[in-house]
Structure 1
Amino acid sequence: MVRAALISLTEKGKELSLRIAQTADFISTERFCLRSHSDFGSRCFEDTAGLISHIFHRYDALVFVCACGIAVRSIAPHIQSKTSDPAVIVIDEGGSFVIPVLSGHLGGANALALRLGSLLGAQAVITTATDIGGHFSPDSFAAANGLIITDMYAAKEIAAAVLDGEKTGIVSEYGYVGLHRDISEDKDCRTGLYIGSKDIKPFPVTLRLLPKNIVLGIGCKRGIECETIEKAVVSALKKAHIPIECVIAAATADIKANEQGLLSFCKKYGLKLHTYTAQELMEVKGSFTVSDFVRAVTGADNICERSAVKCSGGELILRKIAADGVTVAAAEKPLILDFERKIL
């Protein structure tokens, strides 16, 4: 769920931020109110610039209830890139207009503004050209489908091309539905999307989008350090030509649920750790690398491969690799791309 900071400066702004916090069940909110206009459920601040300096990269979205100029001046020193900046939205204290001002596509500000506008009965003011004309946006498509943009220049070229009425092509290693009218399956297009992990360029201007659908299966000795696990994982993924950015989760046996090195590794890379009993792992169908020793210790004949497949619901793309007391495998979660999918 999107984590949003609600920032208000006035009494009316405080009341509107409270209304949003109480009714917007599609976001997780934390309220920040100027000390002179705060309440029991909010966190107080004295200086807007100081507050934003502290929280800018700690939330997925910043929602200001104030004048647009105040918000823009406070975020200006912290803006870095559309691939890393949070969504920033401004709402007037009367609740009439909801304006996305930063990270409209990749950060989801446009989609969030539309949801907040609907909630408040306010007008969402969307200014991005692709949205105004109902055109395909590579940024929005990537964000909604959990894809990594590898080349922002190519993304801009495609966005400009579709605005000029030019079709953009597609080559995908995955199935898709709801193909946008701006996208053509014709391979002769000048610009195009390639969705997959191969290092290829089917079009003169190719935007390669990497899916985030890889699940790591990890087994390890007791007491092993985070650095050792990280080294083994990075090495295994490199051999399989899998970018670590494509990993969405890790899995292992339940007896490793409190292994501190493994937990630290998952925290470092923002991965949720899924654990399974030996019985659950042994019920997974497929061909796996069998170890009688592992079976004797854990009750399952393989931890890394079985847990990766169990968690992903897909197929192995990297079989067991062992190094320094760590075993690593990877499976690919099934993926269907949807051109009509929205971020929220």
Structure 2
Amino acid sequence: MIRIIALTPAGEQLAKKLQACWLGESSSDGNRLEVSVEYKPKPFAEFVQNAFQQGDWLVFICATGIVMRTLAPVLQDKHQDPPVLVLDEEGKFVIPLLSGHEGGANEWGAQVADRLGAQLVMTTAKPYLNPIYTLGMGCERDCPLEFIESLMLDALNLKGLMPSDIHSLNSIDIKADETNLIALAQKYHWGFNTYSAQELTPMESLLSTKSDYIFKTVGVYGVAESAALLAAQNESGSEPELVLNKIKNVKATVAIARGFVDTKKEAS
């Protein structure tokens, strides 16, 4: 559940605009994503603290001081607290206030900034940078779609991402004809790219783990991470990084990578 909390008429207008950005989105369990606009909820402190404690993701359109004073009594730690964003009522700035890395607020804030055309304000990333997210997947031959899709949705949920945040699905060239990887990309309107082992090899130093078995089988130490990283590099033109190290089920693996596009440079 995402709650957008506004305290002024201008803030409420921005909240409704942001709510519309998520219209029709699905959560990781396949259900429709719930996004509510809360205008001057009363009693304010009790409402906000209850929402926070039940794990709702919160977007405040107000002063950061109000948010911190209200949430201070219920804060636990960065591993348990849900992500919190703060926006100014003009929608020019997005501030990941709580649970930046561990809770996913930094990445979520980058997505919100991208959708609003706003500037992301945080100490762990440079301003004017918009993220490009890519998926890398490997799977058994003729892997059923439900195994691939459920794993992909689990991965996105772990990082607070939506399918619409992903730019492409990527794998190794021996999977170029993998029916359900193609089907997954088509279902979510992603590009589907495959790369040779030779093209993927330069990503080796960025892998979280290296599998000798995979190397002997296909010629690279990891398909999902390598493919995601190379795609992020190609699509952003920047040094890629892993957002989610590979996770797997019994038939498939998936990883998420990211590159950044300098929108200020593009505009000049």
Secondary structure in structure 2 of the residue aligned to 1:280: helix
- Asked if the contact 1:219–1:303 (Cα under 8 Å) also holds between the matched residues in 2, the reply is yes
TM-score (norm 1): 0.41
Cα distance between partner residues in 2 of 1:339 and 1:151 = 29
Cα 1:201–1:234, aligned 2, differ >3 Å: closer, same or farther? closer
Could you tell me whether the CA contact under 8 Å between 1:252 and 1:304 is conserved in 2?
Answer: yes
Q: Does 1:218 align with 2:137?
A: yes
How big is the shift at 1:217? Answer: 0.6
Counterpart of 1:299 in structure 2 is: 219
Equivalent of 1:241 in 160, 164, 172? 160
Query: TM-score normalised to the size of structure 2?
Result: 0.52
1:308 aligns to 2:176 (yes or no): no
Match of 2:199 in 1: 280
Which one has a larger percent helix, Structure 1 or Structure 2? 2
- CA distance in 1 between counterparts of 2:20 and 2:188 reads 23
Larger Rg: 1
Q: Which residue of 1 aligns with 2:244?
A: 318
Matched, 1:327 2:261: no
Decide whether the 8 Å contact of 1:194 with 1:209 is kept in 2: no
How many percent of aligned residue pairs carry the same amino acid? 26
Q: Deviations over 1:58-97 (max 9, x none)?
A: xxxxxxxxxxxxxxxxxxxxxxxxxxxxxxxxxxxxxxxx
> Does the alignment pair 1:194 with 2:101?
no
Q: Secondary structure at the match of 2:213?
A: helix
**Cα displacement (A) at 1:190:** 4.4
Higher relative contact order (CA 8 A, sep 6+): 2
- What whole-Å deviation, never above 9, does each CA across 1:199-247 have from its counterpart, x for those lacking one? 8999xxxx75456621001011101022211111001111122222210
Structure 1 residues 334 and 293, CA, compared in 2 at 3 Å: closer, same or farther?
A: same
Structure 2 unaligned runs (5+)? 1-13, 22-60, 63-85, 97-103, 116-129, 234-239
**Total equivalences in the alignment:** 161
SS at the partner of 1:307?
helix
Secondary structure of the structure 2 residue equivalent to 1:301: coil
Give the distance between the partners of 2:180 and 2:263, measured in 1 at CA.
35
Counterpart of 1:104 in structure 2 is: none
Q: Which amino acid aligns with 2:90?
A: T
Q: Hey, what's the Cα distance between the residues in 1 that align with 2:263 and 2:155?
A: 27
Superposed, 1:133-152 pairs within 5 Å as: 150-152=18-20
Please state how far the C-alpha of 1:285 moved relative to its aligned partner.
Answer: 4.8
TM-fit CA distance, 1:249: 0.4
Aligned-residue CA RMSD (Å): 3.6
Structure 2 counterpart SS, 1:296: helix
Q: Is the 8 A contact 2:141 2:178 kept in 1?
A: yes
In structure 2, the residue matched to 1:91 is none
1:295 and 1:339, CA in 2 relative to 1: closer, same or farther beyond 3 A? closer
TM-superposed CA distance for 1:189, in Å, is 5.4
